[in-house]
Amino acid sequence: MKRAILIFSLLISIQLYIYAQEQTLELSNVVVTAGLQEQQLKESGRNIITMRASQLKQLPAHSIDELLRYLPGVEVQQRGPQGSQSDIVLRGGTFQQVLVIIDGIKLNDPLTGHFNSYIPINTDEIERIEILKGAASAIYGSEAVGGVINIITKTFYLKNIVSKNNASLKIRAGEHGLLNGELYGSLKKKNTVLSAGVQTHNSSGNQLRGTKGYFHLTNGNVAFSQKLKNDWTIRFRTAVDFRKFNAQNFYTTFVSDTADEKVSSWWNHLSIQKKYQKGQLQMDAGYKKLKDQYRYNPISKPNINHTNLFTAQAYYTSTAGKKNGYTGGIQWQRKEIKSNDRGNHALWHGAGFLILKHNPAKAFYINESLRLDWDENYGWIAVPQFNLSWTPAKFTYRFSAGRSFRDADFTERYNNYNKALVTGGSIGNPALAAESSWNIEAGADFFAAHAFRISSTFFTRWHKNLIDWTPTPYAEMPRKINLIPTGNYALAKNIKSINTTGFEVDLIYSRKINTDKNIFFTLGYSRIQSKSDEVVPSFYISSHAKQLFNFSFAYGYRRFNFSLNGLYKQRKSSKAAAIQANITSSYFICNSKISYMLIDKKGKLFFQADNLFNKTYSDLLGAAMPGRWLSGGIEINL
């Protein structure tokens, strides 16, 4: 399998390279905003994958986490299908070490990183997704360790790309009682933009161990943008997300686990922007309210958690001459939880940051960042970052070094802390220190007229005080009040040191050949190794993929469009005999989709096959994923 994958990758790369040289390519240079200021990709000194919505919509996927799963270097560990629950992993960084951002505001929930993939935005509202690989704590703060998922929406996009009124409707039906629907519309009149969307995914589910893997997932959002006098712009979004799904063995490998879970959230974002002759002032306020109800089995009392996340930030971006620029800002956060399982807690957080960029010589770019963070838990921490790039001709050579950090979430600090009796499971630890790591990466990119890009990057990360769940006997537990001597426990603790080293290769090709033909292709390969001096391997060491190969392909010809995506993953194997579950040492899955454009290109019919080869697999022990799943439907665009 490894040899076949490498040969396949090499052949595709050679063919696309030759094709790129022979054709007149049309794509402009990529502009990214992952550093809070727009700049060309080659100037950033970072490995950033950027995908437009028009590309992503062609692929066989149901939700944003499924889209991410097949993009170069992104590992998504799914517990359930079609957005039920997933953990996003970048460069071996766990789900709590990847930051998700919507229009510049953090989405990560203070309760647990398991909810970070719950993105309450209709897919038609997304303008593009940027994936910044590697440390970004100097810009964004805690959790930007393995990387950042930066989602930019159409209504909040600085250039207001919504240029005309439009509406779309998509209906899908399939096996296991699948019935999905999406409705989206946007209106623009002079300086006003209004958009709204709702989407729902429902299924009775595939057969599991005595239960069905059902899910009912619905979200809706309304967004508004208004340009005012004197170059002021105000934008506002409110969004809701409701989820109910089978959560059997999502968090444990016990036979008695037949869990179900309900998660509801409310997301609000107010943005005010003022443009000046040489700069721009950006002010944001965000509020996220979440309720999680988890029932371990029908006879158990549910865990009910309520969290609130308040975020406010302001920053100013400007130029200093033709070759220099800067961004300076402040950020404030308030995290709260009220829980019958974890208790009631609240935290204050503040930060100030400065980002500088320089172009001291032709084809030579420097970016420096410094952030000073303060938190009630970990106190003060200084976070520097330095990025360098040299871009002769079609090549970019880049180097980056910096610090990253992460504070524990409420689950890691207080899980099972407020219960009267706990006979087994994960136990929180209020004494956790913040993680800290130093990161170095070096890489090179080759661009062929901006339509073809191949990148390679070597990276290494030295962790200190990494937070992870580690099997711990009763005698070594720091708090025994509600535990029993015969219990089987995993304690959240700081691991002294872990070194993560890896190598990745990304390939992207996208081109509209003519009015009748277009092609889109991505391919990624990464090899990652984490080492620790700990005698008992932690979950961190055991969970991330050692080797990952993923790809996406879409080809359109006249009215037909064919797309394919897939991945091959190699990881550490494990078993849970009691529930007859296992993690295989490797697996390969593939999805396909074919569509036909209707008259006047106002709609299309499509058919999709998920897990085409009917592979039996799990990303996390006990959480069995579905086999082959067939569906089809119609999409109408006005």
- Structure confidence by residue, pLDDT tens digits, 572-590: 999 999 999 999 999 999 9
Query: CA 612 to CA 485: how far, in whole Å?
Result: 47
CB 504 within 8 A of CB 441: no
Query: Which CATH number does the domain housing residue 450 bear?
Result: 2.40.170.20
Given this model, what pLDDT does residue 452 score?
87
- Helix (H/G/I), strand (E/B), else coil: 114: helix
Mean pLDDT of the chain: 89
**Which residue segment(s) compose the domain that 177 sits in?**
2-637
Query: CA 429 to CA 477: how far, in whole Å?
Result: 10
Share of the chain above pLDDT 70, in %: 93
CA distances 216 to 202, 298, 398, 538, Å, are 4, 19, 45, 33
End-to-end CA distance of the chain: 45
Given this model, what pLDDT does residue 542 score?
74
Given this model, what pLDDT does residue 157 score?
83
Q: How many domains does the chain have?
A: 1
Given this model, what pLDDT does residue 526 score?
96
Given this model, what pLDDT does residue 337 score?
96
- Phi, psi (degrees; rounded to nearest 5) at 535: -70, -45
* Residue spans of the chain under pLDDT 70: 1-29, 34-35, 158-163, 449-450, 535-538
Query: CA 180 to CA 199: how far, in whole Å?
Result: 8
Q: What is the pLDDT of residues 20-43, one digit of tens each?
A: 443 433 333 677 776 677 888 888
Residue 472: HSE in the Cβ half-sphere, 13 Å Cα cutoff: 24
The tokens for 374 are 């303060």
Given this model, what pLDDT does residue 36 score?
78
CB 323 within 8 A of CB 308: no
